[in-house]
Amino acid sequence: MPLLTMTNVQKRFGSLSVLNGIDMSVEVGQVVAIIGPSGSGKSTLLRVINGLEPIQGGDIVVDGISMASGRGLHEIRKHVGMVFQQFNLFSHLTVGGNVMLAQKLVLGRGKADAEKRGRELLAKVGLEEKWDAYPSQLSGGQQQRVAIARALAMDPRIMLFDEATSALDPELVGEVLGVMRSLANSGMTMLVVTHEMNFAREVADRVLFMDQGRILADGTPDEVVAQPKDARVQQFMRRLTER
Amino acid sequence: MNFAPVWASRWLLLDSFLTTLFLSAIAIVVGTFVGTLVSVLRALNIGVLNVILRIYVEVFRGTPLLMQLFFVYFGLPMLGIEVDKFWAAFSAISLYTGAYVAEVLRAGVEAVPKGQVEAATALGLSFGQRLWYVVRPQALRVALPPLVGVYVAIIKDTSLATVIGYNELMRRAMELVLQYGRPLEVLLTVGCLYFIICFPISKFSEWIERRLARNGA
Ligand SMILES: Nc1ncnc2c1ncn2[C@@H]1O[C@H](COP(=O)(O)OP(=O)(O)O)[C@@H](O)[C@H]1O
Ligand SMILES: [Mg+2]
């Protein structure tokens, strides 16, 4: 059974239709890169999966839980981690506070357990010594790695990345991609909206190309990035390589 | 300087001091409660309710406290609603302060970046948890200085309750000045008494500000 299934998902902002019947599913352990022009609905696709945006039609099922069911939204959120372009670390909390807050409040973990798990994950992203630092004392790359650790601390089944490296100085992109790469290698199921074609080619099992709220292409990196069949995708790739 | 008349009136002054303290306490405690409630309800963003709350805030901020006191104490009885002195002062001062507190808190809440709330939502925090653990600490950092300004201003404004018969500090001061003709001594004394109320509030807020500042820049 797929870990994530979207059936005929519709999303509108007022009269603007942003997702036009999305059908797709993601298997456990798959790493899916999502590419496409700006405004095509990539962020919205991620945001409906953890319920940051309500949908107007269709259904989303994560790990057997339907978004449409009573506690669906709450349960799904617990299983889905999200990493944002702007990091969004809680600025009034230390790194430790950031990775522990939701563990304590949402999972009901005690302080000792939350700290243990938090330190484990910070070590994984190479920032264990920053436990007492505040976000403002960290570089963008470090903040994003903490944000990844914070999401992982909830033991999610799926991780969503929305242009996680787009706000970073070029020299800091590598450290974040490195963390994402090792996460992918560890078997995490990931949906990654990205402009990093190398990452899509090397790490993703599958690439989705979105345009105007639809999935125009869905295949291996080779099929979608290297030798696209669809004219729109070809055009997008040409523009990308011209830059 | 001759403080003999002031000293002779010490019990009257103490009585008025306590009245001012009492009215200030109502303003700060109940006003803060009302203002907080309003800003939380506003954060829920329910259409009709938002409109009503906005009208409340605008009306009470947009009209003088003096007028509100008059309206409650003298106006409502004409409509057949009897209001005694205490409830008139209580309701007018609380609602007036509440409107200012609500506005200051709203500005604080709006200063918290949207991404903070989104991250908290994505992590599974409930509405109440987001408000308490993520929005409140960050909003307070912004709202605290203007909040103290509101408190200090309202402590001075409680002198208006004299119009409905409260013998608070300013009124007593005027009486003593008229009686003894010692304006400097009387006003110095009363000034000190106001200071005794306002000073701890400033100190307390400085302490909170320092604490918030330590929790991250
Ligand atoms: N909260 C919103 N309100 C109104 N329109 C929105 C909102 N969020 C996104 N949109 C619109 O939805 C479309 C898709 O946006 P988005 O999912 O952010 O695209 P992408 O991430 O691919 O650039 C855009 O036209 C955008 O303007
Ligand atoms: Mg986007």
CATH number assigned to the domain comprising residue B144 = 1.10.3720.10
Where do we find the tokens 């409906």? Answer: A48
Residues pairing with A27 in the sheet: none
Q: Assign residue A179 a region: left if phi > 0, alpha if psi is -120 to 50, beta otherwise?
A: alpha
Of B141, B190, B137, B177, nearest in space to B20 by CA: B190
Selecting from A82, A93, A150 the residue whose C-beta is nearest the C-beta of B216 gives A93
Return d(Cα A99, Cα A241) in angstroms, integer: 38
Which residues on B lie below 8 Å from A150 (Cβ)? 123
Of how many residues is chain B composed? 217
Rounded mean pLDDT, B129-134: 95
How crowded is the C-beta side of A175, counted as CA atoms within 13 Å? 18
CA distance B173 to B13: 8
- Rounded to 10 degrees, what is the CA torsion of B106, B109, B113, B116? -150
| For residues B53-80, average pLDDT | 93
pLDDT at B166: 87
- Residues 6 or more apart whose CB falls under 8 angstroms from that of B50 comprise B42
Nearest residue to B26 (alpha-carbon basis) of B100, B81, B96, B82: B96
Residue B48: its pLDDT value, please?
A: 94
Rounded to the nearest 5 degrees, what angle is found at the Cα of B132, between the Cα atoms of B131 and B136?
A: 80
Alpha helices in chain A (DSSP H): 42-49, 72-79, 95-106, 111-124, 140-152, 170-185, 197-203, 221, 231-242
Q: How far is the CA of A38 from the centre of ligand 1 (A)?
A: 9
| Closest-CA residue to A26 (of A56, A74, A62, A78) | A62
Residue A162's nearest CA partner among A36, A60, A75, A66 is A36
Give the closest of A134, A147, A150 to B216, CB-based: A134
The pTM of the full predicted model, rounded to 2 decimals, is 0.87
Asked if residue B162 has pLDDT above 90, the reply is no
**Pair of tokens at residue B60:** 């009470």
Is there an atom of ligand 1 within 6 Å of A177 CB? no
pLDDT at residue B217, as a whole number:
43
**Token pair in block for residue A178:** 């490195």
Structure tokens at A139: 């570089």
Helix axes of A111-124 and A140-152: crossing angle, nearest 10 degrees: 130
**Rounded Cα gap, residues B212 and B147, in angstroms:** 15
* In contact, B159 and B24? CB cutoff 8 Å: no
- Tell me how long chain A is: 243
Structure tokens at B213: 């500042």
Number of domains in chain B: 1
Q: Measured in angstroms, how far is the CA atom of residue B77 from the centroid of ligand 2?
A: 60
State how far the alpha carbon of B149 is from the alpha carbons of B57, B100, B158, in Å.
Answer: 17, 10, 14
Nearest CA of chain A to the CA of B100: how many Å?
25
pLDDT at position B215: 61
3-state secondary structure of A131: coil
Report the atom number in ligand 1 closest to the C-alpha of A37: 22
The dihedrals phi and psi of B130, each to the nearest 5 degrees, come to: -60, -45
Secondary element (H or E) of residue B214: helix B183-214
Tell me if B101 sits within 8 A of B36, measured CB to CB.
Answer: yes
Compute mean pLDDT per 10 residues along chain A, 243 residues long, and list them. 95 95 96 95 96 94 89 89 97 96 96 97 96 96 98 97 95 95 96 93 94 94 89 87 72
Predicted local confidence at residue B165, as pLDDT: 84
The answer to whether B141 contacts chain A (CB < 8 Å) is yes
Ligand 1: nearest atom to the Cα of A45: 17
Task: Kindly tell me if the per-residue pLDDT of B216 is higher than 70.
Answer: no
Ligand 2 centre from A163 Cα, in Å?
Answer: 7
Q: What does the pLDDT read at residue A163? A: 96
Q: Is A12 helix (H, G, I), strand (E, B) or coil?
A: strand
- For ligand 1, what atom is nearest to the CA of residue A44? 17
Residue pair A219/A34 in contact (Cβ under 8 Å)? The answer is no
Average model confidence (pLDDT) across chain B: 91
- Counting DSSP H helices and E strands in chain B, the numbers are 11, 0
CA nearest to A83, candidates A53, A116, A47:
A47
Q: How far apart are CA A119 and CA A130, in angstroms?
A: 10
Residue A79: closest CA among A8, A152, A11: A152
Per 3-state DSSP, chain A is made up of helix, strand and coil in percentages (nearest 5) of: 40, 25, 35
Candidates B43, B124, B45, B40; CA nearest to A52 is B124
Give the other-Cβ count within 10 Å of A55's Cβ. Answer: 21
**Residue B133, domain extent:** 4-216
